[in-house]
Structure 1
Amino acid sequence: MNINNGVASTPPPPTTSRLRILLSIPDVERAAFISPETHAALNQLGEVTAIAPAQLQSLEAFAAAAAGTDIFITAWGFPRLDAEHLAAAPNLKCVVHAASSLHALVSDAFWAAGIPISQAGAAMAPAVAELSLTFTLSLLRRVHQLDHSLRSGTNWDDARTVPRAREISCARIGVVGASRTGRRYIDACRALGAEVRVYDPYLLKGDPLAASSTTLHGLMANSDVLAIHAPATSETVGLIGAAELALMPDGAAFVNTARSTIVDMEALYKEVHSGRIDAALDVFDAEPLPVDDPWRSLPNVLLTPHLGGATVDSRRRAGGIVVDELRRFISGRPLEHALTRTDLERMG
């Protein structure tokens, strides 16, 4: 699929000669994405050269690797495909991004060039949704507080005095963002009997979630657990501030496995520090999270180091998507996970 100014079209037939593929995934992650079976499949599709993004940071090194290359398989840290880098890759016909966000990779020059691009973000949705569900269940059952009490030396009887736990089947779950991940999370919560409402201004009337739609303030005020699954865009930066957080019921829980920019983290900290609400976070304004960051000392939070989408299974799925997309491209079929510039404006 060719992309030009946000308009998708049928890709030109690829050359009949053996394609040259540059596989550029950080060394620490390459084996997770590209299993021996996946690598064998790629070798059947073309001549594969693996070079880590860290080795392509100078334009000279990039040009040496990109010269004559037809396809880029990229991930975090790959050089931005601006005019200079595109000029150094005159044979480039397609890009498949093994990770999710493309914002750091593409440029105005890239979109103007009309090069098809695809990403494997769909592979991460089940993993992130599952972590969000794990957070939800843990907060409702007060696992984080009970664990902290016992580990910190609180005596048995005092440890049992935390607010009584809730069951998800009797809980009101609010979801900000009907994204791929948000929908997986909603399905999982409903399967366990939860009442779920959603806020997403882009929901269409015919969408299955439309009947569950509500306002942001209505969602904040009527949720036992609020889960963030919106993308980080100019529209969502600071979407949830002090005024919105103040609407949450006492004893409610806040879950964020999306992006920290969606919420005023200072305002959230004040609410959690007061003990009025609990939180579970996989994303932060400062990453890595400093060892002396005040979030680390709160007993009523669950913290994970931005690994929501990083499971054995999600990485294998991503590698499978890469192979499937290249097969589609080589056979002249539309890419299943292609993105246009317009798509990217509403994605994180």
Structure 2
Amino acid sequence: MPGSPDPADRSRVVVAVPPELRAQFFTAGVWRELERAAGLTVVDDHSDRAAVAAALPGARALITSWRAPKVDAGLLASADRLELVAHTGSAVAPYVTEEVFRRGILVTQAGDEMARPVAEVALAFTLSLLHRVHRFDHALRGGLEWDAASEAPPRHEIHGSDIGVIGASRTGRAYIALVRAMGARVCVTDPYLSDSDAEALGVESVPLETLLSRSRIVAVHAPVTEETHRMIGAEQLALMPDGAGLVNTARSWLVDEDALLAELAAGRLDAAIDVFDAEPLPTGHPFRALPNVLLTPHQAAGSVECRQRLGASAVDEVLRLLAGRPPAHAVTADALARLH
């Protein structure tokens, strides 16, 4: 047809996302947009380094998902036209190296889309711990008589409760908005939170020790860096009041799991945990047997809506590239300091 572009000149995009995740990430409409804009090479076995390398020659963009091979000098040797790596997750450190940035290749992530669902799960965890819902569930499912199953430590409403938030990250701020809307008093520990930002968020900025000692619930939302490794250990947990609860929907990296287990086994604290040192969590892990612990299998960002936004965000970055527009969610080499 006169005026039609030569298929040989059509931009090509590699989608290194396995079939199950493609179905979750890309709605039919979003996928059609991508197909109209570019020629697609789909790598089903997305963790196969050789398969990704074979797909890269001539491609302008690469969409990655969890467990994809890291784009390093070796893979870049096959990427003669690559201009963009669009990651469907948040942290990019496991998937790109400094060499990508040195070559001027854009890197984007979709972490903004995870903040709301993770914050909602953290809120659900908070309410469960305050009202001891997890303890009642364990007791009834464990076969305790009604009266015995009705016994629990004092319960509290979120309205008027002191909630401590470690890390005013994207997710931390979304969580703060939710718990403040329900009447909680919120204090935050974050070395990068300015006084003006704290005022705008409606929170009090305090040292970690103060936050731990005064909070009925402590929610962890800090980033994963060398400085935050095991920032919550035995000494910090000991500062929490008897009956307080710890919520972790961030990363196990931030909490000394052995120290937390010791406090939980003693029954002094409660916890709701979505992330673990060993994943999958071993079937015989002590966490599984404790009645004061609520567990989920690293699924806080697993809502239908969130997965679709992750895919739409990555596709939008590709469409921006092909249209000559700047990316919406680019990251710099500094993002490699976030280890997970």
TM-score, normalising length: structure 2: 0.94
- Cα distance per residue 1:84-106 (max 9 Å; x no partner): 11011111011111111211111
Are 1:66 and 2:56 an aligned pair?
Answer: yes
Name the amino acid aligned to 2:55. Answer: A
- Larger deviation, residues 289-298 vs 147-156: 147-156
Are 2:172 and 1:182 aligned?
Answer: yes
Secondary structure of the structure 1 residue equivalent to 2:195: coil
My pick for the range that moved more, 195-204 or 43-52, is 43-52
Cα shift at 1:27: 2.4
Counterpart residue number, 1:6: none
The question of whether the paired residues in 2 share the 8 Å contact of 1:97 and 1:117 is answered with: yes
Alignment of 1:50-129 (within 5 A): 50-54=42-46, 56-58=48-50, 61-129=51-119
- Secondary structure at 1:170 match in 2: coil
Residue 117 of structure 1 aligns to a residue whose secondary structure is: strand
Q: Distance in 1 between matches of 2:245 and 2:203?
A: 24
Q: Measure how far apart 1:57 and its partner are.
A: 2.1
* Percent identical residues: 47
Partner of 2:181 in structure 1? Answer: 191
How far apart in 1 are the matches of 2:9 and 2:211? 56
Q: Deviations over 1:152-201 (max 9, x none)?
A: 12111122221232100021100001000000000000000001111000
Q: Structure 1 pair 43/187, CA: closer, same or farther in 2 (3 Å)?
A: same
Matches within 5 A, 1:129-168: 129-168=119-158
Q: Is residue 120–residue 337 contact of structure 1 (8 Å, CA) maintained in 2?
A: yes
1:21·1:71 contact (CA, 8 Å) conserved in 2?
A: yes
1:53 deviation in Å? 4.3
**1:327 aligned residue (291, 295, 319):** 319
Alpha-carbon separation, structure 1, partners of 2:121 and 2:115:
10
Q: Which residue of 1 aligns with 2:4?
A: none
Code of the aligned partner of 1:168 = I
Q: Which residue of 2 aligns with 1:10?
A: none
User: Which amino acid counterpart does residue 212 of structure 2 have in structure 1?
Assistant: M
In the TM superposition, 1:1-12 aligns within 5 A as: none
Structure 1 unmatched runs, 5+: 1-15
Could you tell me which of 277, 280, 284 is aligned with 2:269? 277
Name the amino acid aligned to 1:335.
P
Alignment-mate amino acid for residue 36 of structure 1: A
Tell me the CA shift for residue 83 of structure 1: 0.8
Please say if 1:223 is aligned against 2:215: yes
Partner amino acid for 1:258? A
Whether the 8 Å CA contact 2:222–2:228 is kept in 1: the answer is yes
CA contact (8 A) 1:62 1:88 kept: no
Q: 1:254, CA displacement in angstroms?
A: 0.5
Contact kept in structure 1, 2:93 and 2:337, CA below 8 Å: no
Mapped to 1, the partners of 2:336 and 2:249 lie a distance apart of: 20
Preserved CA contact (<8 Å) 1:198 1:209: no
Instruction: Report the TM-score when normalising by structure 1.
Output: 0.91
Residue in structure 1 matched with residue 5 of structure 2 by the alignment: none
- 1:16-35 equivalences under 5 Å are 17-35=9-27
Q: How many residues align?
A: 331
Q: 1:55 to 1:274 in 2, by over 3 A?
A: closer
Structure 2: how far apart are the matches of 1:62 and 1:180? 31
Matched-pair contact (CA < 8 Å) for 1:177–1:231: yes
Match of 1:309 in 2: 301
What's the CA shift string for 1:195-233, capped at 9, x where partnerless? 111100011233124852110000000000000001111
Contact 1:53-1:79 at 8 Å conserved across structures: no
- Per the TM alignment, residue 347 of structure 1 is displaced from its structure 2 partner at its CA by 7.2
Cα distance in 2, alignment partners of residues 66 and 332 from structure 1 = 21
Change (3 A) 1:211 1:137: closer
Task: Name which of structure 1's ranges 73-82 and 16-25 shifts more when overlaid on structure 2.
Answer: 16-25
* Bigger mean CA offset, 105-114 vs 251-260: 105-114
**What is the CA–CA distance in structure 2 between the aligned matches of 1:156 and 1:202, rounded to whole Å?**
49
Structure 2 gaps of 5+ residues are: 1-7
